[in-house]
Amino acid sequence: MRRLVVASAILATILTAPLSMAAAAPTPSLAMTDSGRATAALEYLLAAQKTDGSLTDYGSLGETADFVIGAAAAGYDPATLQGCGSGESALSFLAAASDKASSDASSTGKAILAVVAAGDDPAGFAGRNLSARLSALYDSGTGKYGDGSTFSQSFAILADVASGVAVPGAAIDAMAALQNPDDGAWSYGSTSVAAGQGDSNSTAMAVMALDAAGTYTADTKGLAYLRTQQVDDGGFVYSTAWGSTSDPDSDSLVLQALLSAGVDPESADWSKGPNNVMTALRASQGADGGFAGVGSGETPFVTSQVPVALVGVYYGAAVHATLGRSVPTSGCPSPSRSPSPSSSPSPSPSPSPTPTSMPAPPAAIPTAPPTPEPTVRSVALATAAPVSTATATPTASPTELTATISAPEPTLAAVALVAGATAAVSGVPATPASSVPTGSGGFPAPLVYGLAALAGLAVVLGGGWLLQTRAGRR
């Protein structure tokens, strides 16, 4: 009997060893990637899209343009952005909205960025020449686009770069002249303001525009100002002169500016303890993918600017989507099943009414018309790695920042900043695997090992008991 007990113990140890190893093995991480967060935000926006193709009740061009740019940067086809139903597409809305904003350099420039991101030609977009419109808004005498405000100059310069148009030198000078010479900030208006009156959003836009045009002389002071606008959660406020709470829009714009300047946004120099702009953005996303502003709930207005930043792309980069790849519709409500029609009590069947014809879909916007730039190559997303941060050497201190950025080479770690170049964007967010290994039948492997161990132990004990019983009978 002792031999039986010893043999049973040895067998039980052998059979349960794999179970112990499986339990001790680390489980795969289920953390969502930044690419996945960008997709979740796009799903939120798709569900919020209006029947006219816009994202807001007031039909603003800006948010819809950001939607298009973000979708393209994340590897989706902007031509498929048509909400949850059969309304107008985002590109159709942009075409119509660009007509209403034809005298606005900021909106026209942003529309061009969206068109380029979608792989289309701004000089022939749905029968419109957006490039000619922007050129008509330029004053060669002053170097100003439109009203000459920071956003007008920035989006116009970025649009020129993205579409392969030479940026006028006077436009660059006018942009640089809006920077405050003391604290390095830009403000929203068309004149330079006193120190302390600028804001992070305008400064980030100006840095992006000048970097895109190949002018880096303003980076040192501009980035130094942005550093003063970072708060304890790692995010950025619109301006410390008016508040102390970070917001996703400011985070997104500053993140893009840092990437355009070749700065690592997760480096120690741009962190507050364990927090940085990336951790702030990740923490501020809602369960449905949306982002909320300061003192408000989640809105498409706030959310629309985030996806492009999450995947490490900044304005002015030529990003081109994978044609035909749609944003998932998990954020859309499930269609309700229509009740079955009741049979007619009439003895003689009445003819079925002629189905009402559905309205014709909007004219298809050309997907890839010829452009004067090199042939656009669509990005292969299946194997592309997520781009969340720049790979430039992080700066260690404000002193080293000055030395590093005063005359940098345009090393673009996140994307290729030339018209027609293919941007490196994040890959398809993989579905997280189960955290528990499974056996061939779909059951968790630890459970399979445990059952096998118990079964083996039962066989040994049962067999021993039978042998002992027979020996006793003899």
Q: What is the CATH number of the domain that holds 126?
A: 1.50.10.20
- As a whole number of Å, the end-to-end CA separation of the chain is 16
Task: Examine the domain organization and report whether 134 and 231 are in the same domain.
Answer: yes
Residue 158 in contact with residue 145, Cβ under 8 Å?
no
Q: What's the rounded Cα separation, in Å, for the pair 133 and 123?
A: 9
User: How sure is the predictor about 4, in pLDDT bands with cuts at 50, 70 and 90?
Assistant: very low
Which alpha helices (DSSP H) does 300-443 contain, by range? 300-303, 306-310, 398-405
pLDDT in tens, 257-284: 999 999 999 999 999 999 999 999 999 9
- Which helix (H) or strand (E) segment holds residue 202: the answer is helix 200-212
Bridge partner residues of 236 (DSSP): 230
Q: Tell whether 267 is covered by a domain.
A: yes
Task: Examine the domain organization and report whether 8 and 112 are in the same domain.
Answer: no
SS3 of residue 128 by DSSP: strand
**pLDDT beyond 60 at 471:** no
Task: Examine the domain organization and report whether 176 and 115 are in the same domain.
Answer: yes
- DSSP assignment string, 204-248: HHHHHHHHHTT--TTHHHHHHHHHHTB-TTS-B-S-TTT-S---H
As a whole number of Å, the CA-based R_g of the chain is 30
Which stretch, 10-14, 167-171, 354-358, has highest mean pLDDT? 167-171
Residue 412 DSSP symbol = -
- pLDDT of 85: 81
Query: Across residues 188-193, what is the average pLDDT?
Result: 96
pLDDT in tens, 148-157: 999 999 999 9
Q: Tell whether 343 is covered by a domain.
A: no
- pLDDT of 20: 45
Task: Examine the domain organization and report whether 389 and 265 are in the same domain.
Answer: yes
Residue 239 in contact with residue 199, Cβ under 8 Å?
yes
Query: How wide is the angle at C-alpha 328 spanned by C-alphas 326 and 329, nearest 5°?
Result: 115
pLDDT in tens, 412-458: 333 333 333 333 333 333 333 333 334 434 444 445 445 655 665 55
pLDDT in tens, 34-45: 999 999 999 999
- pLDDT of 310: 97
Task: Examine the domain organization and report whether 21 and 81 are in the same domain.
Answer: no
pLDDT above 70: percentage of residues in the chain: 63
Q: What's the rounded Cα separation, in Å, for the pair 248 and 281?
A: 6
- pLDDT of 32: 86
Which alpha helices (DSSP H) does 261-325 contain, by range? 277-283, 300-303, 306-310
Q: Tell whether 449 is covered by a domain.
A: no
Residue 200 in contact with residue 239, Cβ under 8 Å?
yes
- pLDDT of 321: 72
Residue with tokens 């449905």: 288
- pLDDT of 334: 78
SS3 of residue 373 by DSSP: coil
Task: Examine the domain organization and report whether 65 and 126 are in the same domain.
Answer: yes
Which residues, at least 6 apart from 336, have a Cβ–Cβ distance to it below 8 Å? none
Q: What's the rounded Cα separation, in Å, for the pair 167 and 184?
A: 23
The residue among 3 and 145 whose pLDDT is bigger is 145
Which alpha helices (DSSP H) does 31-149 contain, by range? 34-48, 61-73, 90-100, 105-117, 130-136
Task: Examine the domain organization and report whether 465 and 379 are in the same domain.
Answer: no
Q: What's the rounded Cα separation, in Å, for the pair 33 and 390?
A: 16
The residue among 344 and 176 whose pLDDT is bigger is 176
Enter the tokens of residue 130.
């957006």
Enter the tokens of residue 142.
């002053």
Task: Examine the domain organization and report whether 228 and 79 are in the same domain.
Answer: yes
User: How sure is the predictor about 100, in pLDDT bands with cuts at 50, 70 and 90?
Assistant: very high
Q: Tell whether 340 is covered by a domain.
A: no
Enter the tokens of residue 257.
């500016």
Task: Examine the domain organization and report whether 75 and 222 are in the same domain.
Answer: yes
Task: Examine the domain organization and report whether 19 and 53 are in the same domain.
Answer: no
User: Residue 415 half-sphere exposure, CB side, CA atoms within 13 Å?
Assistant: 37
Task: Examine the domain organization and report whether 106 and 61 are in the same domain.
Answer: yes
User: How sure is the predictor about 409, in pLDDT bands with cuts at 50, 70 and 90?
Assistant: very low
Task: Put residue 281 in one of left, alpha, beta given phi > 0 → left and psi -120 to 50 → alpha.
Answer: alpha
Query: Across residues 219-235, what is the average pLDDT?
Result: 98
Using the 3D structure, point to which of 384, 405, 426 is the last residue of a domain. Answer: 405
Find, among 29, 28, 30, 38, the residue nearest to 278 by Cα: 38
Task: Examine the domain organization and report whether 42 and 80 are in the same domain.
Answer: yes
**pLDDT beyond 70 at 80:** yes
**pLDDT beyond 50 at 52:** yes
Q: Tell whether 338 is covered by a domain.
A: no
Overall domain count for the chain: 2
Q: Where in the sequence is the domain holding 9, given as residue range(s)?
A: 1-25+455-474
Q: Tell whether 362 is covered by a domain.
A: no
Find, among 305, 308, 325, 302, the residue nearest to 388 by Cα: 308
Residue type, 248: P
**pLDDT beyond 70 at 285:** yes
Q: Tell whether 81 is covered by a domain.
A: yes
Enter the tokens of residue 12.
């039980």
pLDDT above 90: percentage of residues in the chain: 60
Q: Tell whether 465 is covered by a domain.
A: yes
As to burial, measured by CB atoms within 10 angstroms (0-12 exposed, 13-18 middle, 19+ buried), residue 185 is: buried
